[in-house]
Amino acid sequence: MTDNRVNPPFVASERDMLTSWLDFHRETLMMKCAGLSEEQLRLRSASPSSMSLLGMVRHMAHVERVWFRRVLDGEDVPLLWGKQAHRDADFDDVDTASADEAFATWRQEVELARKISAALPIEAIGKQQRHGQDCSHRWVLVHMIEEYARHNGHADLLRERIDGAVGD
């Protein structure tokens, strides 16, 4: 696996630190998926889990959309991948899903998230509550870092299972 990630700075403003770490983790997911066929991206982890790298990319596109576009920006955009009808559709429904579509959607959601984030002060409160709670921009950034970091651990194990490739 080629590693083209930019390491986050050791000293930076809070915004730069958080967005650098988020971008680092976004790139980590891409690195874990690089060079694999669509069939390999669909390979499941271990029963009963339906987790796959393709499902993870679909899930992260969904998560980017919900936290940045819906919660922070207040957009009334639909959930992705049929999640309104099936909570785990992003992970479960990958057998015929298009990897190209998943990666294009993920990239689009990341770019929209970056634009929304850049336009908001870090202490801004989202326009839509989540589980009945207000969410700050700062909280969303920290949560997204946590979300990617957790799933990148899964991605590391999946990639090693697929072709033996390991790395940070």
* Residue 38 belongs to domain with CATH number: 1.20.120.450
The reported pLDDT for the residue numbered 39 is 95
pTM, entire model: 0.95
Record the tokens describing residue 23, joined without a space. Answer: 């971008």
| Structural domain harbouring 82 | 24-163
- pLDDT tens readout for residues 63-113: 999 999 999 999 999 999 999 999 999 999 999 999 999 999 999 999 999
Position 15 in a domain: no
- Mean pLDDT, rounded, for 3-28: 95
Q: What is the CA radius of gyration of the chain?
A: 16
Q: Where are the alpha helices (DSSP H) in the chain?
A: 14-33, 38-42, 53-64, 89-92, 99-118, 137-163
Angle at CA 150, nearest 5°, toward 146 and 152? 115
Position 19 in a domain: no
- Would the pLDDT of 45 be above 90? no
Task: Classify residue 10 by its DSSP letter.
Answer: S
Cα-Cα-Cα-Cα torsion 87, 93, 98, 100, nearest 10 degrees, comes to: 40
Position 96 in a domain: yes
Domain count, the chain: 1
Q: Are 66 and 83 in contact (CB under 8 A)?
A: no
**Inter-CA distances, 116 with 80, 120, 145, Å:** 19, 7, 16
Position 80 in a domain: yes
Position 168 in a domain: no
